[in-house]
A = this chain, B = another copy of it.
Amino acid sequence: MSWNSFGRMFRFTTWGESHGPALGVVVDGCPPGIALEEGDIQPFLDARRPGQNRFTTQRREPDQVRILSGVFEGRTTGTSISLMIENVDQRSKDYSEIAAKYRPGHADYAYDAKYGFRDYRGGGRSSARETAARVAAGAIARKVIPGVGLLGHVVELGGDRAERFAAQHLESSELWCADPEAEVRWKSRLDEVRKAGSSVGAVVEVLADGVPAGWGSPIYAKLDSELAAAMMSINAAKGVEIGDGFAAARLTGEENADPMRPGPAPGDPPVFTANHAGGTAGGISTGQQVVCRVALKPTSSILSEVESVTRDGEATTVRTKGRHDPCVGIRAVPVAEAMMALVLADAFLMHRAQCG
Contacts and interface: CB of A to CB of B under 8 A. Distances in A.
A327 to B, nearest CB: 10
A300 interface: yes
A248 B315 CA distance: 26
A70 B15 contact: yes
Contacts of A258: 104-105
Contacts of A215: 114
A91 interface: no
Contacts of A329: 249
A92 interface: no
Nearest to A329: B249
Interface string A177-209: 000000000000000010000111111000000
Interface stretch (A35-43, A48-56, A57-65, A347-355): A347-355
B257 A300 contact: yes
Residue of A26, A258, A306 most packed against chain B (CB within 10 A): A26
A234 to B, nearest CB: 9
A173 interface: no
Contacts of A77: 17, 115, 117-119, 124-125
A109 B213 contact: yes
A114 B102 CA distance: 40
A237 B224 contact: yes
A90 interface: no
B257 A220 contact: no
Contacts of A278: 238
Given A1-B9, A198-B253, A261-B309, 11 more contacts: A3-B218, A16-B69, A26-B26, A84-B84, A110-B282, A113-B212, A200-B252, A228-B240, A238-B243, A259-B306, A270-B309
A111 B284 contact: yes
Interface string A329-356: 1000000000000000000011111111
A104 to B, nearest CB: 5
Residue of A69, A77, A109, A349 most packed against chain B (CB within 10 A): A69
Contacts of A353: 9, 29, 349-350, 352-353
Interface in A253-306: 253-263, 266-270, 273, 276-278, 280-287, 295-302, 304, 306
Contact of A238 (B8, B23, B277, B354): B277
